[in-house]
Amino acid sequence: MIKFCSLFSGSSGNAIFLGTEKTKLLIDAGLSGKTIIEALHSIGEDPSELNAILVTHEHSDHIKGVGIVSRRFGIPVYANDGTWEAMESVIGRVGPGSCRRFDTGVIFDIGDIGVRAFPIPHDAREPVGFNFFARSRKITVATDIGHINKELLESFDKSDLILLESNHDTEMLKVGPYPWFLKQRIMGKTGHLSNEIAGKVVAYMAERGTENFLLGHLSKENNFPELAYQTACAALQGKGIEPGRDIMLDVVLRDKTGKVVNL
């Protein structure tokens, strides 16, 4: 069995737990150590049993607690060269054996879980999403995506579960309180994914067989969970796919630990 849980998801901090009976991973640690440790306990996980912290990119909402959690429990941190360069001075020194590097695009193993990082279009040094392979299942985590391209769709293909960014409603963003340069950044090619595009991707992947979707990294200012959900619902229903009956669709929140999904 694979256990998956979004502890927190959004620009105020990201952390995801994924584990088998043997191997336990934390993907990003973008909140205080204390908050992450409490969230792990709340889903029955002991942070000292983590085998790895995997980092998608160096933005603070993904790395804030990486150094703290790693040092406190002696947990190895995995990132690619670009992310290490960009985050090293921010997360502080980790233990001598805790600095692990992976190559984007190359599958490697942590315990009984296969891991593959794939590039995402986002304004960081070498940002990635992840595929996880275990128990003949494939799980994909992909947030902080400026736009969708063919390579991304290939990386998502045949996933059993996808956590996909559904960051903002484009109309809310346009009329919202952000200064224009920030609006430009978010809507740009290396910013964040809108509800509309996320909905289209969900519908496309559902048609190709994916049965479980979580929408994440929602903007606090430019989105509502219900709006993200309904936008994806409409896209799915347009293809004759009914959420709840044919597939699982849920929204994971910035300030609340999500439901545990067992696959």
Judged by the rule CB under 5 A, the positions of this chain that interact with Zn ion are 59, 61, 144
Which residue has the closest beta carbon to Zn ion? 59
d(CA 129, CA 104): 9
d(CA 44, CA 41): 5
Give min distance, CB of 134 to Zn ion, in A: 25
Give min distance, CB of 254 to Zn ion, in A: 10
How many residues are present in the chain?
Answer: 263
Angle value at C-alpha 138, between 27 and 4, nearest 5 degrees: 45
Closer residue to Zn ion, CB minimum distance, 144 or 169: 144
Angle value at C-alpha 96, between 95 and 99, nearest 5 degrees: 85
d(CA 200, CA 144): 17
Give min distance, CB of 192 to Zn ion, in A: 8
Assigned token pair, 55? 């980092």
Give min distance, CB of 87 to Zn ion, in A: 12
Closer residue to Zn ion, CB minimum distance, 19 or 216: 216
Closer residue to Zn ion, CB minimum distance, 186 or 235: 186
Q: How distant is the alpha carbon of residue 131 from its chain centre?
A: 10
Closer residue to Zn ion, CB minimum distance, 20 or 35: 35
Beta-bridged to residue 247, according to DSSP, are 243
Q: What is the DSSP string of 117-144?
A: EEE--SSSSS-EEEEEEETTEEEEEE-S
- Specify whether the CB–CB gap between 112 and 134 falls below 8 A: yes
Closer residue to Zn ion, CB minimum distance, 253 or 263: 253
Give min distance, CB of 195 to Zn ion, in A: 16
Closer residue to Zn ion, CB minimum distance, 45 or 58: 58
Identify the three-state secondary structure at position 149: coil
Nearest Cα to Cα of residue 256 among 60, 62, 35: 35
Give min distance, CB of 191 to Zn ion, in A: 9
Closer residue to Zn ion, CB minimum distance, 23 or 195: 195
Give min distance, CB of 14 to Zn ion, in A: 6
